[in-house]
Chain A
């Protein structure tokens, strides 16, 4: 294999490793270092409600499911309830059938986007950003993988 291809392949592997490392961070159960949301077996994980609290009248969410969640169609169950105190509405969703970790990641991202659309009116964008030269180091590629996966990861 030519050298540039080997380097590119290595960089790709490092980036994948970063994304995987971020997934694993959610599984770590050392107190204070992450909390697991996906340590369940796949069946239990798929059935778990994932929720965000949105500062809005619950009826607004009951009337119209936010577009990022509506895009999943019948594959999702969506539940809206009044949050305690003055916190607005709890917007929860889960898949009806078996799903992959990637799809659960897409649901996390969709819930966050739904909350932003209701509260702010738009989804925060962060690319493209000004930056200088990106050194192609293994650590850098690992971090690239972490960043790419970050919107879909977390404890949600």
Chain B
């Protein structure tokens, strides 16, 4: 079958690879209908997460049809149209019971790597390096999904593939950030990053009752999408002083909830931005926390900061003093998608949550290298490139 693979730093190829097979009794095989690029893939592409082997199949946000099911699969059957959570979770460990699915104890077959890096191993993520389990990803004609009863969700009739596709990761991650940050009616919420996840975090904050939602980015097309499709305010951080702007918009308090949806390759302006770039390129820090730093400094006293963007290891100049002395609550997580997808699909069916606009480029799988290039360079208005095998 055809699959889009990582073949080296900033190198994506379409190769002929073997078809997947059922390996565990709880597995299904999906025929992939649509699979989409995610901003976190760019960290893999750029070599910032050095656990990719040449030939690894990319992709973790996808929708497909069940074509084969293992003998222990109870709730899915051949022919089901399903959207899938990016993290493999067993559904039976203590973390899964707490609905912290991306922390599943039994989802990563290579726990030694992440235990070494982080002290404990989170779950495994499809198409996201050997540190996260070494699973083949979804940019392929077929894919194996373990723990299928837990991680796959039947899409309601009337919800299009392209809308449901984003329930997999962008919408569930965004929703999780707004939810676990404690967004409540009347809050002011600021979101760093107007990519798919940032837009969905903003939309979630609005649906959870936030009175004012502001999204920060520098890409005009993305800011326009925020205004047009999300209904939130959009601010170009390259043309204003973000901290002053947010104070001005919040009566001098700062936002109640600050959601960082950028991650380890944040761009910045001025000295701080240049400092982070140089240190990362010299490998004196692994991650660029420019947006995260700003979120912590912007947040009101006693407020909440949530890190949705992916970080790999170490950051520099982390404003611990602000975090502690302002009494902030700081959380982060990979997506507990299984917890949110059912509700998101219901909201999608009611047209409360629309996502089709994120799919700015729908391409055949054979054009995955071009899709990733546009997505990485943010050219031609690309917000997300969707591949159809």
Give chain A's interface residues, CB within 8 Å of chain B: 22, 25-26, 28, 32-35, 52-53, 55, 86-88, 108, 112, 115-116, 119-122, 124-135, 137, 139-140, 143-144, 146-147, 149-156
B151 at the interface (CB under 8 A from A): no
**Who on chain B is nearest to A35 by CB?**
B119
User: Is A150 in contact with B111, judged by CB distance below 8 angstroms?
Assistant: yes
Give chain B's interface residues, CB within 8 Å of chain A: 1, 3, 5, 7-8, 13, 15-21, 23-26, 50-57, 72, 88, 90, 92-94, 97, 105-107, 109-113, 115-121, 130, 133-136, 140, 144, 146-147, 313-314
User: With A and B bound together, what is the CA distance between A94 and B107 in angstroms?
Assistant: 25
User: With A and B bound together, what is the CA distance between A119 and B97 in angstroms?
Assistant: 11
CB distance from B26 to the nearest CB of A (A): 7
User: With A and B bound together, what is the CA distance between A140 and B232 in angstroms?
Assistant: 45
Contact pick for B17, options A116, A130, A152, CB 8 Å: A130
Contact pick for A124, options B19, B72, B106, CB 8 Å: B106
User: Is A143 in contact with B51, judged by CB distance below 8 angstroms?
Assistant: yes
Evaluate whether A143 and B53 lie within 8 angstroms (CB atoms) in the complex, with A22-B113, A35-B119, A126-B135 already known: yes
Contacts of A55 in B (CB 8 A): 92-94, 97
Query: 3 closest pairs, A vs B, by CB?
Result: A153-B112, A154-B115, A132-B15
CB distance from A8 to the nearest CB of B (A): 18
- 30 CB contacts below 8 A, A to B, read A22-B113, A26-B112, A28-B116, A32-B118, A33-B314, A34-B116, A55-B92, A55-B94, A119-B90, A119-B92, A120-B92, A120-B106, A124-B107, A127-B23, A130-B3, A130-B140, A131-B5, A131-B53, A131-B55, A131-B136, A132-B13, A133-B15, A134-B55, A140-B54, A144-B53, A147-B130, A151-B111, A153-B116, A154-B115, A154-B121
CB distance from B246 to the nearest CB of A (A): 30
Most buried by B among A52, A55, A144: A55
Beyond A119-B106, A128-B21, A153-B115, 15 additional pairs, beta carbon < 8 A: A25-B113, A32-B314, A33-B313, A34-B116, A55-B93, A87-B94, A125-B109, A132-B5, A133-B15, A147-B110, A150-B111, A150-B113, A150-B130, A151-B109, A151-B110
User: Is B106 in contact with A150, judged by CB distance below 8 angstroms?
Assistant: no
Contact pick for B136, options A34, A120, A130, CB 8 Å: A130
CB distance from B142 to the nearest CB of A (A): 8
User: Is B94 in contact with A135, judged by CB distance below 8 angstroms?
Assistant: no
CB distance from A22 to the nearest CB of B (A): 6
**Who on chain B is nearest to A152 by CB?**
B112
Contacts of B109 in A (CB 8 A): 124-126, 150-151
User: With A and B bound together, what is the CA distance between A10 and B48 in angstroms?
Assistant: 26
Q: Across the A-B interface, how many residue pairs have beta carbons closer than 8 Å?
A: 163
Most buried by A among B13, B72, B106: B106
User: With A and B bound together, what is the CA distance between A128 and B136 in angstroms?
Assistant: 10
User: With A and B bound together, what is the CA distance between A62 and B44 in angstroms?
Assistant: 44
User: With A and B bound together, what is the CA distance between A121 and B310 in angstroms?
Assistant: 32
User: With A and B bound together, what is the CA distance between A36 and B52 in angstroms?
Assistant: 25
User: Is B113 in contact with A146, judged by CB distance below 8 angstroms?
Assistant: yes
User: Is B97 in contact with A130, judged by CB distance below 8 angstroms?
Assistant: no
Most buried by B among A26, A108, A146: A146
CB distance from B128 to the nearest CB of A (A): 13
Contacts of A129 in B (CB 8 A): 20, 57, 134-136, 144
User: With A and B bound together, what is the CA distance between A124 and B117 in angstroms?
Assistant: 22
Evaluate whether A130 and B146 lie within 8 angstroms (CB atoms) in the complex, with A26-B116, A33-B314, A155-B116 already known: no
User: Is B20 in contact with A140, judged by CB distance below 8 angstroms?
Assistant: no
User: Is B13 in contact with A25, judged by CB distance below 8 angstroms?
Assistant: no
Evaluate whether A130 and B57 lie within 8 angstroms (CB atoms) in the complex, with A34-B119, A119-B92, A153-B116 already known: yes
**Who on chain A is nearest to B140 by CB?**
A130
Contacts of A137 in B (CB 8 A): 54
Contacts of A156 in B (CB 8 A): 111, 115
User: With A and B bound together, what is the CA distance between A124 and B134 in angstroms?
Assistant: 12
Contacts of A121 in B (CB 8 A): 25, 72
User: Is A132 in contact with B51, judged by CB distance below 8 angstroms?
Assistant: no
User: With A and B bound together, what is the CA distance between A127 and B313 in angstroms?
Assistant: 27
CB distance from B243 to the nearest CB of A (A): 27
User: Is A132 in contact with B94, judged by CB distance below 8 angstroms?
Assistant: no
Contact pick for A122, options B16, B26, B52, B136, CB 8 Å: B26
Evaluate whether A53 and B94 lie within 8 angstroms (CB atoms) in the complex, with A121-B72, A128-B21, A131-B57 already known: yes
User: With A and B bound together, what is the CA distance between A51 and B15 in angstroms?
Assistant: 42
